[in-house]
Amino acid sequence: MSRHTPADAGLVHLGATEALQLFARREVSPVELMRAVVERAEKVEPRINAFTERLFDEALEQARHSEDRYLGKNGLTPRPLEGIPVAAKEKHAIQGRTLSEGSLAHEGRVATENAPVIDRVLDAGGIIHARTATPEFSLSTFTHSRMWGITRNPWNLDFTPGGSSGGAGASLAAGTALLASASDIGGSTRVPAAFTGTVGFKAPYGRNPGLGVLTADHYRGDGPMARTVDDVIAFQNVLAGPDPRDHASLRPKLTLPTSYEDVAGTRIALCVRLGEYDVHPEIEAHTRAAAQALADAGAHVEELALPWTRLDLLTAVAGHFSAIFGALVVEAAASHRELLSPYTVAFADTMAHARGRVSYLDSLRAEHRVQRGLATAMDGFDALVCPTTAVPGWHAGDDLDGDKVVVHGEEVADTLWSAMTLPFNINNRCPVLNVPSGMSSWGIPTGLQIVGHPYDDPAVFRVGKALEALRPWSYAQIDDSLS
């Protein structure tokens, strides 16, 4: 069932949808693909450190069962993700396996049930061959911890792949996974997607079911990452739909189309600064180039300004995080402070301070102003495009504990305003898709956010598919950086 050898480097760069087609035609077998991915991981993982746990032996056995389905044995047929290697974010619970979230305070903790994301991957025939690293408690835009060490960007090992789904982005870019599960409470899907040149989808609140108390946090949600827009669509169609463990999960299930009209005639808003963000010149240039490509393809692109202020954004997130997610970290710091990473302790202290100064009602008032500003600005447009980050990246291992992000010895951005993702967690009913926008002079990719109206998921994929065709992206040069 193959025309390839397991060592064929081209296999690890296959898209998931492409691999499924090759499986169906019996030109590649799931076993051969899994072997190629495992070999790739064994070669590059010591330098990237994307994985917290390797499940290679079990994955190869599951790949044999997937191969049987493609061969029609025992009357079984392939499922939607049959035989695809999927890297799962460690915070996505797998029954009987660790659930430490990168914290020594949770060392030895074991999950008692699967997260809905995991159940949906397994039910669709996806094979979880590895679990991916995050910062402690998934609370930052980088990926390193006292427990797991530093995860690095495959494009340039001096830089972080972002966070918190940094292990997911790094594994996809490096060719050690074809799909990866992610989550997003402040940019944890989109920032690593931007820095690794991958595609990440922040689904609108409730679209994909979650597990645990934070499913009630309307800033967050679980979602898909992959190397192509088609692959994210295929993965998202597996993840979406209601689950009784998450009463906020939406019904009926939305199934995304797999083909879309081109963007001719669409109305697209361009916003480079999102109010008061300071944007690096390369980021601005890449964002404008993407917008121009859409205009050249027949879209009506109009630049606009948003009325967002730093004060409103800061008030919204300070009140929200200090009351919910931050309160959980404060609890951990109260009992295990000596075990936590320095950035976690700093976050806990900041949240404790914020909780005494900004009420949850203050935060809701600011959220309302931010949401209304976006709704008014987007009225009459089909989607909005903007940068994912304000700067091209930051160094691996940097705790970002100062007022400024420092890269190559130069101050390049205010730390708090280096990512441009949080406004759309405040507006978390809006779907947001990150796609690559270019390659920076620092040797890592940059990203573009495509923002849709609340729950209009197909709109962002229509624009994303168009940009992918207009501005093709390749992972081949990563082989040179890792050799």
Does the predicted TM-score (pTM) go above 0.85?
yes
CA distance 269 to 377: 8
Q: Does the annotation mark 183 as catalytic?
A: no
Span 224-264, pLDDT tens digits: 999 999 999 999 999 999 999 999 999 999 999 999 999 99
| 369 assigned to some structural domain | yes
- Residue 5, pLDDT score: 40
Give the H or E element holding residue 127.
Answer: strand 127-132
Catalytic residue among 164, 249, 322, 363: 164
Q: Confidence band (pLDDT; 50, 70, 90) for 474?
A: confident
Span 259-312, pLDDT tens digits: 999 999 999 999 999 999 999 999 999 999 999 999 999 999 999 999 999 999
Q: Assess whether pLDDT exceeds 90 at residue 398.
A: yes
Give the H or E element holding residue 150.
Answer: strand 149-150
Span 429-439, pLDDT tens digits: 999 999 999 99
| 1 assigned to some structural domain | no
Span 25-72, pLDDT tens digits: 999 999 999 999 999 999 999 999 999 999 999 999 999 999 999 999
With a pLDDT cut of 70, the percent of the chain lying above it is: 97
| 405 assigned to some structural domain | yes
CA distance 25 to 3: 11
Number of domains forming the structure of the chain: 1
| 140 assigned to some structural domain | yes
CA distance 94 to 88: 9
Helix (H, G, I), strand (E, B) or coil at 451: strand
Q: Assess whether pLDDT exceeds 50 at residue 440.
A: yes
CA distance 373 to 426: 12
Q: Does the annotation mark 164 as catalytic?
A: yes
Q: Which range marks the domain in which residue 165 is found?
A: 9-482
Catalytic residue among 66, 89, 145, 341: 89
Catalytic residue among 188, 322, 341, 418: 188
- Residue 482, pLDDT score: 76
- Residue 349, pLDDT score: 97
Q: Assess whether pLDDT exceeds 80 at residue 2.
A: no
Q: Does the annotation mark 91 as catalytic?
A: no
| 18 assigned to some structural domain | yes
| 3 assigned to some structural domain | no
| 421 assigned to some structural domain | yes
With a pLDDT cut of 90, the percent of the chain lying above it is: 96
* CATH code (residue 328): 3.90.1300.10
Alpha carbon 141 to chain centroid, angstroms: 11
CA distance 70 to 355: 55
Maximum Cα interatomic distance, the chain, rounded to a whole number of Å: 64
| 197 assigned to some structural domain | yes
**Cis previous bond, 164, omega within 30:** yes
